[in-house]
Structure 1
């Protein structure tokens, strides 16, 4: 499995995904 061989490669993508998800959730809460 590539995910198990090189987990560091996916950390930036996961961090960006979580950051965008949090920003969108906060934006939705502020908008409403």
Structure 2
């Protein structure tokens, strides 16, 4: 995967996870 595709994939995964868990953003921030 290219860097762009990795970022896009992560954003899409985040959107999917946000549908299940409102902590998605907090989790991503803490991991980065």
- Relative to the length of structure 1, the TM-score reads 0.55
Q: Which runs of 4+ in 1 moved over 4 A?
A: none
Length, aligned pairs only: 22
Unaligned runs of 5+ in 1: 1-10
Decide which structure has the larger Cα Rg and report it.
1
Q: Larger RCO: Structure 1 or Structure 2 (Cα < 8 Å, ≥ 6 residues apart)?
A: 2
RMSD (Å), alpha carbons? 1.8
TM-score, structure 2 as length reference: 0.55
Larger helix proportion of the pair: 1
